[in-house]
Amino acid sequence: MNNQHYFNIIVSRTPTKFATCIRHFGNMTYNHTSVFLDDDLDNIYAFARPEHLGIFKGTLVKESLDRFTLRRNIDVPVKVLRFAITDEQYNDLQAIIYNIYNDPEYIYNLFSVLSYPLTKGFDTYKAYSCIEFSMTLLKKIGYKFEKPIPRYKPDDLIELFKDNIYKSCDIRELLSEDNGESDYFSPLSIKLLTSNAVGLFIIIKRTLFYRKFSH
């Protein structure tokens, strides 16, 4: 008999200044989503910044307790949504995550997020926000949505899938110790400034020429 597999989404209220602005202007309670398969808390993924000061370098990253809390002794409320999936769906999601994580072309859909109050989001080639990535994976396992994916906010997931809420807690109850990459808190450097500049150029180019507004 095959073991039951699960696809999980963590919907969180993170403490960064960027997150605070997003919640304020987007009128949201929660601002971030991350995904993991089964109970594998060592491999939680989200579209976010690889380095805290690399604001234009977003891509698919592995999450950690320090990333959620910024190494502060603060509450970070989370809700975990759990979805039962088949072996085939598990393999499909695992392959998608692996391929995107190892493809350096993928970027964070920054301008879609920043302009959300005006544009209500838009698709960009090989670019996702955290919520877009989570909902794309939900769509892959068969869920259908009334609106284009970029129009959804993390709060919407909780409303749409309230029956799938598996756990509501502080992130420190879910992740008891940090297992992330230490370079998230890398200090500002010429290398980091350069990569930020390159990242900004890529975001602008991708948004201007490979963007599709949601309707």
| Per-residue pLDDT tens over the stretch 176-197 | 776 655 689 999 999 999 999 9
**Within 13 Å, how many C-alpha atoms sit on residue 60's CB side?**
22
Give the 3-state secondary structure of residue 61: strand
- 87-101 helix and 130-140 helix, angle to the nearest 10 degrees: 150
Nearest to 124 by CA among 147, 143, 148: 148
DSSP assignment of 131-161: HHHHHHHHHHTT---SS-GGG--HHHHHHHT
- Say yes or no to pLDDT of 58 above 60: yes
pLDDT of residue 135: 97
Residue 96: C-alpha distances to residues 90, 114, 128 (Å): 10, 26, 13
Contact at 8 Å (CB) between 67 and 180? yes
Tell me: the pLDDT tens digits for 143-177? 999 999 999 999 999 999 999 999 999 999 999 77
Exposure b/e, 41-67, CB count within 10 A at least 16 = b: beebbbbbbbbbebbbbbbbbbbbbbb
pLDDT of residue 128: 97
Contact at 8 Å (CB) between 178 and 64? yes
pLDDT band for position 77 (cuts 50, 70, 90): very high
Mean pLDDT, the chain, rounded, equals 93
pLDDT of residue 176: 77
Q: How far apart are CA 23 and CA 77, in angstroms?
A: 14
Mean pLDDT of 48-53: 94
Domains and CATH numbers, the chain: 5-213 (3.90.1720)
Mean pLDDT of 43-72: 95
Predicted model pTM: 0.94
Tell me: the pLDDT tens digits for 94-153? 999 999 999 999 999 999 999 998 888 999 999 999 999 999 999 999 999 999 999 999
CA angle 111, 116, 121 (to 5 degrees): 75
- Amino acid letter, residue 37: L
Residue carrying the six token digits 């979805």? 83
pLDDT of residue 33: 98
Tell me: the pLDDT tens digits for 2-19? 689 999 999 999 999 999
pLDDT of residue 179: 60
